[in-house]
Structure 1
């Protein structure tokens, strides 16, 4: 059987030994020919995509698939390169650790219109135009012995709460100046980046402040510093909540979430236990009315979170009708007009007898009068004395049943005798 080899040879042109082994296998097992043909075609498509990725398409935007399989929308490399080459670079910092959209070190560059990341050969890897950016935050990296800061740069549709979500930029800086330093600025990389962004963006970089929010948990890594983060979970992912001046941020694993105040419809608490609770944030209709729950938040943080939500008038919908447990209709009919168990318990604690009532409508109600309905004081006292005597006798019988003959050996001493006489005299007063 003749085996068509053109596609196979082209696909495996850079691996001649592997190509020969595949051809031999196909010759002996022709039923696998179609499978290897499709594999070869797929490899050729990948190679072609790599060529386009290197050279860049002519359109302004393109879709890239990152290593997680999620679609992210960024400016093409050729467009970013053209933007950067046409203007002077305002800031250039090498060896900056990026986490999103790629986990790798790049050179951070800022011009008057673009923020981007350059590869080893000065190739533009990714970036975004400044006029697409609508929120930037700089927050401390939690649980690090050495101080570090995360910069989260959110372009339109990259807040994690839209149906057509794209990736933000996330990179980290430390107190240690990188190799080569920051061109034209002092050694504090964080302040340098913030100052540059504030100068070229229409918005200011958001930063945490103890006046806005501070964690009530001690910073175990740097005990003398204030913590601004709250530990929480998004499903099975562990992350951190930051409550900023005009937004709530969650990170730092994908997807990042940025809830600006104008995107929040309401907030609510749920899954409340002795140790933890959950915070759910509902977005406005403009953002598809999504409800995103952050769970396993320590109860110690509740006062600070609640104060922040109330102060910023982020509506608490914890008691909304839609969040209440539904009572079956059969139980509703069964309990109509009946007192609740809570009310019955309150009445019992208050000493209210549920069966005896002073209501004139009751059958056993007796109207008091000035006549024979009142008994004299002596009769009342005699009755009390008789009750006390019966109680002592009952207690004595109970003790005899429990202790048996041991009780017979107990005699009242002379010291105890006056006490018992006083009890008898007292009952007749």
Structure 2
């Protein structure tokens, strides 16, 4: 099919079917065979609804999930598509009874599949352990980045595996792909719970999963990112694990409490939806606001991957003890510290320097003429402001006392000198008489 014929076919499909169904039809060549029966069933329901819309069966929503009756449906559907070359996928890794948090929230089997002939043709499946039905899936080539992050504030060691999809990626159901989040334990794998990947003597669920994900992503030039102290480690000790470093910073995004991780390729916020990843390439600036004695807020201005529009996301109530480590991370990676922007100064400190200077005709483009470029961090400026206020109070106290240098009473030496002058004048008067 030529490009012109393909474009015409796409327009015909879009004109004939509803938007969601048309998109799934257009993406059909990229879908896994397991999902194709559902697509054809929905097409049939749509066609029937055009002829007999009053029947109860025809009014069922197209998005309603239906289980496959048996494997025969898969075989029949696949044989009905001779033009589509389907390749058998091998199991690289499979782990049952995994606690999945997103995009579904239930216990599921996690499987990493690949084509033995072309390993870049990989997929991740989340399936029902008892029925084998694949409830969600995504192509390996659509994974933007993968992370292994420790689960904070848990007595038992656990790790969250977090996969972010590329902008515009779709899942195997034809919907916009969502991040994948599932939890594994730092315990020895139980018998029969893991298959595909060889389990070594000292392995845990975390280490086996990490190793399998690295193999699965390697054809696409990616690997699993983990936190390290060279990038950032919290200054706050963990009460339940003395001497062990923590790599998270507790923060709020609106009313939702979560954790920030400062990693080698960007900043991650989890583990409440919406999960967010801010790669260095998208970050426009990082700034600090509402700097108080014990907490401060962090504002990340980053370009939206889809629209390229720069949007600000504010994380509040970060502990002041982690300020130095975060600020060092920002400077080390050359991220723009926008804390000294005029609007930030006014919001954080209620400083009206710009307005006063403007009244005197000294402001141009938001800067006071003759002022030096201020490269202090916001915390340093807050300390400097407090020091300036204390100095002003001390000066006011000295002036109000009436005893400062050059004012009020004279010194003892001045009084003695004045007495001597009076005595000399008196002696001269007596000599004249």
SS of structure 2 residue aligned to 1:154: strand
SS of structure 1 residue aligned to 2:212: helix
Distance 1:316 1:158, change over 3 A: farther
**1:284 shift after superposition:** 3.1
**1:345 shift after superposition:** 2.7
1:173 matches 2:194: no
SS of structure 2 residue aligned to 1:379: helix
Which blocks of at least 5 consecutive residues in structure 1 are unaligned? 1-39, 56-78, 356-373, 384-429
Contact 2:289 2:339 in 1 (8 A): yes
Distance 1:335 1:209, change over 3 A: same
> Separation in 2 of the partners of 1:328 and 1:224?
46
Contact 1:239 1:251 in 2 (8 A): yes
What corresponds to 2:143 in structure 1? 133
Distance 1:375 1:279, change over 3 A: closer
Contact 1:118 1:124 in 2 (8 A): yes
What corresponds to 1:17 in structure 2? none
Match of 2:300 among 275, 281, 288: 281
Match of 2:334 among 304, 313, 328: 313
SS of structure 1 residue aligned to 2:227: coil
Measured against aligned partners, the alpha-carbon deviations of 1:260-298 in whole angstroms (never above 9, x if no partner) come to 111111100001111110000001376420100000011
**1:93 shift after superposition:** 0.7
Distance 1:199 1:221, change over 3 A: same
1:123 matches 2:133: yes
**1:45 shift after superposition:** 3.9
**1:334 shift after superposition:** 6.8
> Separation in 2 of the partners of 1:303 and 1:329?
28
Q: Matched residue pairs, number?
A: 300
Contact 1:84 1:111 in 2 (8 A): no
Equivalent residue runs for 1:35-46 within 5 Å: 45-46=59-60
Distance 1:270 1:199, change over 3 A: same
Match of 1:156 among 166, 170, 174: 166
Contact 1:264 1:284 in 2 (8 A): yes
1:214 matches 2:233: yes
Distance 1:85 1:143, change over 3 A: farther
Which blocks of at least 5 consecutive residues in structure 2 are unaligned? 1-53, 70-80, 115-121, 170-174, 363-387, 403-412, 423-433
> Separation in 1 of the partners of 2:344 and 2:268?
24
Match of 2:269 among 250, 253, 257: 250
**1:224 shift after superposition:** 3.3
Distance 1:351 1:234, change over 3 A: same
**1:188 shift after superposition:** 1.9
1:235 matches 2:254: yes
> Separation in 1 of the partners of 2:279 and 2:90?
33
What corresponds to 2:405 in structure 1? none
1:345 matches 2:392: yes
SS of structure 2 residue aligned to 1:306: helix
What corresponds to 1:146 in structure 2? 156
